[in-house]
């Protein structure tokens, strides 16, 4: 009997040790001095493999016993996961412990981001993973080819689109719902998205301006729209919390130089913004301009923090004839100045822009529509929101693995 009891105890200890080995701990420390909700956390698979998580999508993160919505993303298009991504709420300078456990079943999370690249065919709108930019400035040709003239991206707060032609414009769909709606926007026979629908509407007139974060070069005292005949659009990945696509431009002429441009656009759940990241090769002396439209003669407002700079406008500038705030936030490093294009360009008028570096360009574009949130029904509230965002963006997260 005693031998049997010893045997059972030994088996139990082995089981407990086995269970312990099936858990890994990670402490995430948030460095900012203010609270932050829905903070993005991206962990490189390379780092995870060093600590025992070798197979992507086989392990799930938990906090206080609760499963975290998460996704594994292939960021470089090689068919293998490169990052684990999730969102966490933090108090100021708080540390949280993430427990990784092997997955016991396939999880399903609320979809809070979405990409839509629809091509119009005789059989209706067909979603695509990639598409060519049309060699035209005529929006009627683009309307005939693509759903809402190009690719759209959305989260549970706001939506945007890029015109897949030589205009390379960025536009805003204001949303009054947290549902994903872009798959049903701009279909033949439906009501126009230029009119208020139950989900929202197109709230921005772009014209020939730099729209909602469109890009240009400042080169030899001239403003040159960032576009090109050899250009395409590719969806990189799509997930419930984060989605990303890529705009590629080949052989763009800058004087006697030819450059290639990669523009990655990412949208994350819970934010009234998207993030752009630009790579240009070979190196160029041109500065990159990130723009926002000004068709209503609203003054540009500028704010600076220790880590980020912000340019914004606010006022009655939505197509719904109500208040809309728009902003560009860029890292302080590399910032040069901001400009009003009316005084320097006839081909790109009605725009403000932030001049940044020629390499490693990163920015966020924000759209705060009063119909989407009461937090944007006055300028002070929008300004307060931007100040907090400027303080939080790029705040360091410290990751410490433990047993």
Contact 252, 216 (CB under 8 A): no
Give the integer Cα–Cα distance in Å for 225 and 209: 10
390: part of which helix (H) or strand (E)?
helix 379-392
pTM score over 0.85: yes
For the chain, the 3-state helix, strand and coil shares in percent, each to the nearest 5, are 15, 50, 40
Contacts of 48 (CB under 8 A, 6+ apart): 54, 59, 84
pLDDT in tens, 106-128: 889 999 999 999 999 999 999 99
Give the integer Cα–Cα distance in Å for 142 and 119: 10
Give the integer Cα–Cα distance in Å for 126 and 145: 11
Give the integer Cα–Cα distance in Å for 283 and 305: 28
42-49: list long-range contacts, CB under 8 Å, 24+ apart. 42/83, 42/84, 42/85, 43/83, 43/84, 43/85, 43/399, 44/82, 44/83, 45/72, 45/80, 45/81, 45/82, 45/83, 45/84, 46/82, 47/399, 48/84
Question: What is the maximal distance between C-alpha atoms in the chain?
Answer: 95
- Which band of pLDDT confidence, cut at 50, 70 and 90, is reported for residue 360? confident
Give the integer Cα–Cα distance in Å for 172 and 153: 10
pLDDT at res. 15:
42
Give the integer Cα–Cα distance in Å for 195 and 185: 12
pLDDT in tens, 257-311: 999 999 999 999 999 999 999 999 999 999 999 999 999 999 999 999 888 999 9
Task: List the structure tokens of 85.
Answer: 């991504």
pLDDT in tens, 386-398: 999 999 998 889 9
pLDDT in tens, 330-342: 999 989 999 999 9
User: What DSSP assignment string belongs to 239-269?
Assistant: -SSEEEEEEEEEEEEETTEEEEEEEEEEEET
Q: Is the peptide bond before 192 cis (omega within 30 degrees of 0)?
A: no
- Which band of pLDDT confidence, cut at 50, 70 and 90, is reported for residue 8? very low
- Please give the C-alpha separations between residue 154 and each of 158, 242, 403, in angstroms, as whole numbers: 6, 10, 38
Give the integer Cα–Cα distance in Å for 329 and 184: 31
User: Per-residue pLDDT for 12 more than 70?
Assistant: no
The two counts, helices (H) then strands (E), for the chain are 4, 28
């Amino acid at each position: 009997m005693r031998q049997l009891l010893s045997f059972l105890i030994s088996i139990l200890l082995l089981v407990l040790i086995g269970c312990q080995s099936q858990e890994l701990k990670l402490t995430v420390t948030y460095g900012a001095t203010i609270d932050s909700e829905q903070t993005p956390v991206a962990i490189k698979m390379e780092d995870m493999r060093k600590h025992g998580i070798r197979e992507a999508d086989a392990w799930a993160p938990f906090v206080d016993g609760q499963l975290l919505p998460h996704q594994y993303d292939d960021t470089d298009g090689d068919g293998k996961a490169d990052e684990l991504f999730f969102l966490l709420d933090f108090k100021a300078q708080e540390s949280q412990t993430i427990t990784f456990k092997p997955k016991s079943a396939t999880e399903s999370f609320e979809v809070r981001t979405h990409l839509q690249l629809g091509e119009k065919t005789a059989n209706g709108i067909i979603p695509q993973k990639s598409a060519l930019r049309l060699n035209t400035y005529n929006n009627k040709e683009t309307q005939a080819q693509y759903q809402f003239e190009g690719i759209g991206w959305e989260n549970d707060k706001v939506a945007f689109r890029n015109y897949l032609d030589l205009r390379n414009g960025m536009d805003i769909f204001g949303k009054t719902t947290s549902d994903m709606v872009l798959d049903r926007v701009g279909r033949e026979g439906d009501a126009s998205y230029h009119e208020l629908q139950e989900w929202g509407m197109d709230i921005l007139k772009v014209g020939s301006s730099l729209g909602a974060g469109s890009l240009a070069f400042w080169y030899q005292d001239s403003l040159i729209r960032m576009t090109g005949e050899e250009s395409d659009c590719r969806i990189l990945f799509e997930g419930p919390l984060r989605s990303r696509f890529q705009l590629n431009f080949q052989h763009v002429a800058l004087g006697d130089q030819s450059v290639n441009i990669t523009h990655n656009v990412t949208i994350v759940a819970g934010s009234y913004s998207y993030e752009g990241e630009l790579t240009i090769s070979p190196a160029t002396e041109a500065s990159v301009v990130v723009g926002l439209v000004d068709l209503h003669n609203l003054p540009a407002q500028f704010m600076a923090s220790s880590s980020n700079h912000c340019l914004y406008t606010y006022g009655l500038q939505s197509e719904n004839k109500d208040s809309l705030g728009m902003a560009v936030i860029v890292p302080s490093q590399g910032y040069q100045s901001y400009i009003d294009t009316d005084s320097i360009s006839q081909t790109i008028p009605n725009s403000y822009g932030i001049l940044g570096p020629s390499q490693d360009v990163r920015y966020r574009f924000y759209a705060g529509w009063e119909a989407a949130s009461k937090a944007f029904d006055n300028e002070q509230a929008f300004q307060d929101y931007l100040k907090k965002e400027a303080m939080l963006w790029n705040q360091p997260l410290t990751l410490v693995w433990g047993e």
